Structure 1
Amino acid sequence: MAEQPAWIVHLEYMLSQYYKADIKIMEEFIEILSKPTHLKVTVVVKKGSLSEPEQFVYFVKLYENIVPYHIRMDLLAKFVKEVDLYTVALPAIKEFQKAGNTYALPYDQIFPSCIGARLSTKSNMPDETGVLILENLNEMGYTRPDVRAGLDLETSKLVLHKMAHLHATPLAMKFLDSDLDLFKQKIVPCLVEVKYAKEPFCYQDVDRLVNDGISSASPYLKPLKVLVEQAKEIAWRGKKYDDESWLTMCHFKFSIFNIMLKYDDQNKPVACKIVDLQALNYTHLCTDLIYFLFTSVNTSVLMSNFDNLITFYFDLFTGILSYYKIYHRHTREGFLKEFDEEGPNMIIEILQMLPYISGDGYEQDGDPILGESFKKKLNDIMRVMKSRKWIEL
């Protein structure tokens, strides 16, 4: 595992490039966060010789080099991917929006701002000098939402607003002939799916989840097992799409774990940022929407507002496309058809996440405890799926 650095290599140069000023670091403090490659870096700097000292706090990711002569390809690939997204893809989308004089939300505002990024000071391959410097959202008042409580209706709509922007703007680039080459050159290479050696928040034993979560006497047990087997077969074969008009930049398993929220004095949500960009990929936009709804929205809110939330997202999505003068490419009827086709295929991913949002604590080996909260959550989800006719009793 990488050791904590005493300082960030060439940090003065990176800050000078970002602030477009001659930066002199007076003091630098480094604090390890959740892992040795995730740091809180505090600097006191002067911008030019006559300025007063200023303090800045950043969130820093380092390339996670495990041991010499052993390469974890998933760690290497996801670091390259996130750096390329910030240095190649997002600037290209920004130029696309600028050239079109669009009224859509500036795309880079849905993510943490990047102060600086590089793979290495020596080559084009990540090494111990690889670094990604982002604004520190915690210092700006953002917090992680309560995973077990789930999101209320107002907060869910705020997140769906960001999700719609995440999906619509890259799709607009793909649709417009003048920008298709830019999309292929700058965006697509950054969306290659990375296979993780161990996926985060992913409970592997799906069959146990089904048997522990649904009573043997429940009418949901047999339909759920059928649904899981069908999803396994589709995952094994690979999903192919005849209509690519719904494929765009998505977030691998978009959930409550991948967002940070800011609240006002009345505890109302006012801002949202999508984090962990190494998880972005190119797939069907409904996979993000379905996964988010079932894993992140408070269950009672979901059950009473399911259709409302789907409609809310679609209206936002098509409204954003209209900023780019793209009309009538996606109908409500077509969207609902796509949504209901994708829904049953997502059952395994949803099941694998549920223990982490509804488990009753953790076992000594780190696995979540599958208690009554998990069972209730799963049965509530089955009721929603039945209402969509994804399962038949």
Structure 2
Amino acid sequence: MGEVPEIKNLQQVIEPHLPEGCTLDSYSSCYLTKPGDNYGSIMLSVQAKVRSADGAIRDLPLIAKLPPLTNDLYWQIFQPERTCITENAVYQYLAPELDKLQLESGILPAHIFDGFPRYYGSRISLDTRTSKVDRDAVLVQENVTMRGYRAGNRHRPYNLAETVLILHYLAQYHALPIALRLKKPQVFEDCVRPYFKKFNVNSNIDQAELEIINNEILKDIKAVASDERDVNRVKELLGIFQALQPSKEVDDGPFTTLVHGDLWINNLMLKYGEEGTPLKVKIVDFQIAQYESVVHDIIFLLFSSVDVNVLEDNFYNFLSIYYNAFIQTLRSVNVDTSNYTYELFLEEVQQTAHLQLPHAIFMMKFILADNSTIPKDYKDADFSMLTKNTGAKTIKTKFEAILRTGKKFNIFY
């Protein structure tokens, strides 16, 4: 993996977020993720030693997230100038406002939404006057693995219990910003909305590269599709999805909120009880969060990360579980939900769901990438890994399942 990048002036970032009188005494760091588990940033595990006012020193396990310093291709694709600012805003502005909204509505402190990791500061540059993200940008948060959370395995999709738990968290994550917009429109307009503009992840990718990736996908689709019409539809959907990203901002609607935009197994951390029961969720990686319909996150999660048989048995059930948790969350902060009918929600699903099938199909090339095709070092990762997985049995099986379930639930055509 090469030398671990240095984090300059870490104390300036985290000390304002430590208990009063505490200072950073020292720290050491190492790489946190393996190649293939994170693309848009470099993740470091940081062992900080914190000195309290009485001189006692304790360990504070943190995670530092840096932009993709060593890989120019990733810097170009993930556009830290936008993604770092958006992700920082989730922790700096959104999370505290949502906490406040819930507490002011009388929700007990122990019961407020706990889906974000704890924040220990961020910066976009060492130059405090600049508004431009540079290579000294960093976001620091708690290392939730020390509290029993663990990342999923991209080769093992979620089961029924895990999916039900995640949908509850997702519904809260979506409903609370809607409540903030309705109850405190000025706060929403000033502190939240400006940071979550549309983001076109493809704007800096060479069109020829995109064409190659799409053609590789279509080769596998052809191998599993029942007829030519399905292949043409996938091609059409890939085009629609790619055109959706640079399109104009959406209007406020009952179901528009801050969607995560990339909600798959690697961006969720789950905590389990002794019996293996999933108990809690942390959502991470808000780099491409934007203002959109809730349906984008729901459908992408279900089709990218949930076991195919579980999804097939429970698709409508999952929609209803999500909807009920969404309504419950709005009511918990005293929002009138009389306009939020289930019929209206299902209409929203019908209008939007097909847009996320090509996203799930596209991401399978990453999610199910065979470990042997992923370079050992970030510096060497490029688009060629996507073409190395063409014809892989796991990917073709998953493509076939996406087509079948998409058609079965009437969201493919």
- The two structures have a TM-score, normalised by structure 2, of 0.82
**1:58 — aligned with what?**
62
Give the C-alpha shift of residue 230 in structure 1.
Answer: 5.2
Asked if the contact 2:89/2:192 (under 8 Å) is kept, the reply is no
Asked if the contact 2:46/2:64 (under 8 Å) is kept, the reply is yes
**1:22 — aligned with what?**
21
The residue matched to 1:249 in structure 2 has which SS?
strand
Q: What amino acid does structure 2 have at the position aligned with 1:389? A: N
**2:290 — aligned with what?**
281
Q: What amino acid does structure 1 have at the position aligned with 2:9? A: V
- Unpaired runs of 5+ residues, structure 2, are 36-40, 375-383
State which of 107, 111, 120 in structure 2 corresponds to 1:115. Answer: 120
Give the C-alpha shift of residue 357 in structure 1.
Answer: 3.2
Give the C-alpha shift of residue 267 in structure 1.
Answer: 1.9
The residue matched to 1:98 in structure 2 has which SS?
helix
Instruction: Select between 147-156 and 225-234 the one with higher mean Cα deviation.
Output: 225-234
The residue matched to 1:277 in structure 2 has which SS?
coil
Q: What amino acid does structure 1 have at the position aligned with 2:186? A: D
* 1:195-233 CA-partner distances (Å, limit 9, x unpaired): 33469xx996234323323437x5354134235415624
State which of 155, 166, 169 in structure 2 corresponds to 1:162. Answer: 169
* 1:326-354 CA-partner distances (Å, limit 9, x unpaired): 22221111111211221222232121012
The residue matched to 1:318 in structure 2 has which SS?
helix
Instruction: Select between 300-309 and 187-196 the one with higher mean Cα deviation.
Output: 187-196
Give the C-alpha shift of residue 275 in structure 1.
Answer: 0.4
Listed as ranges, the matches of 1:64-103 within 5 Å are 64=68, 74-102=79-107
Q: Take 1:374 and 1:37, find their aligned partners in 2: how far apart are those partners?
A: 27
Q: What amino acid does structure 2 have at the position aligned with 1:95? A: K
**1:42 — aligned with what?**
47
Structure 1 residue 212 and structure 2 residue 211: aligned?
no
Q: Take 1:281 and 1:380, find their aligned partners in 2: how far apart are those partners?
A: 28
Q: Take 1:235 and 1:106, find their aligned partners in 2: how far apart are those partners?
A: 36
Listed as ranges, the matches of 1:231-270 within 5 Å are 232-233=239-240, 235-236=242-243, 238=247, 244-270=253-279
Q: What amino acid does structure 2 have at the position aligned with 1:137? A: V
* 1:45-83 CA-partner distances (Å, limit 9, x unpaired): 3201x3432111110123555699xx9581222112222
State which of 358, 361, 364 in structure 2 corresponds to 1:348. Answer: 358
Q: Take 1:286 and 1:192, find their aligned partners in 2: how far apart are those partners?
A: 17
Give the C-alpha shift of residue 172 in structure 1.
Answer: 1.0
Question: Cα gap change, 1:205/1:63 in structure 2, threshold over 3 Å: closer, same or farther?
Answer: closer
Q: Take 1:151 and 1:203, find their aligned partners in 2: how far apart are those partners?
A: 31
Q: Percent identity?
A: 22
**2:230 — aligned with what?**
223
Give the paired residue count. Answer: 382
Structure 1 residue 132 and structure 2 residue 131: aligned?
no
State which of 285, 301, 305 in structure 2 corresponds to 1:292. Answer: 301
Question: Cα gap change, 1:87/1:97 in structure 2, threshold over 3 Å: closer, same or farther?
Answer: same
* 1:91-121 CA-partner distances (Å, limit 9, x unpaired): 23333333333469534x2111101222334
State which of 270, 284, 307 in structure 1 corresponds to 2:316. Answer: 307
* 1:9-59 CA-partner distances (Å, limit 9, x unpaired): 051x544422332224444212233489432221223201x3432111110
**2:329 — aligned with what?**
320
Question: Cα gap change, 1:115/1:360 in structure 2, threshold over 3 Å: closer, same or farther?
Answer: closer
Question: Cα gap change, 1:194/1:307 in structure 2, threshold over 3 Å: closer, same or farther?
Answer: same
Question: Cα gap change, 1:41/1:214 in structure 2, threshold over 3 Å: closer, same or farther?
Answer: same
Q: What amino acid does structure 2 have at the position aligned with 1:106? A: I
Q: Take 1:67 and 1:334, find their aligned partners in 2: how far apart are those partners?
A: 44
Q: Take 2:391 and 2:71, find their aligned partners in 1: how far apart are those partners?
A: 35
State which of 126, 145, 148 in structure 2 corresponds to 1:141. Answer: 148
Q: Give the structure, 1 or 2, with the largest relative contact order (CA under 8 Å, sep 6 or more).
A: 2
Give the C-alpha shift of residue 140 in structure 1.
Answer: 2.3
- The two structures have a TM-score, normalised by structure 1, of 0.86
* 1:155-190 CA-partner distances (Å, limit 9, x unpaired): 0111111110110000112223xx111111111112
- Unpaired runs of 5+ residues, structure 1, are none
Question: Cα gap change, 1:363/1:221 in structure 2, threshold over 3 Å: closer, same or farther?
Answer: farther
Asked if the contact 2:15/2:24 (under 8 Å) is kept, the reply is no
Question: Cα gap change, 1:321/1:366 in structure 2, threshold over 3 Å: closer, same or farther?
Answer: same
Q: What amino acid does structure 2 have at the position aligned with 1:93? A: L
**2:381 — aligned with what?**
none
Structure 1 residue 193 and structure 2 residue 186: aligned?
no
**2:349 — aligned with what?**
339
Question: Cα gap change, 1:204/1:153 in structure 2, threshold over 3 Å: closer, same or farther?
Answer: farther
Task: Give me the CA root mean square deviation.
Answer: 3.2
The residue matched to 1:79 in structure 2 has which SS?
helix
The residue matched to 1:159 in structure 2 has which SS?
helix
Q: What amino acid does structure 2 have at the position aligned with 1:54? A: R
Q: Take 2:395 and 2:42, find their aligned partners in 1: how far apart are those partners?
A: 32
Q: Take 1:313 and 1:113, find their aligned partners in 2: how far apart are those partners?
A: 25
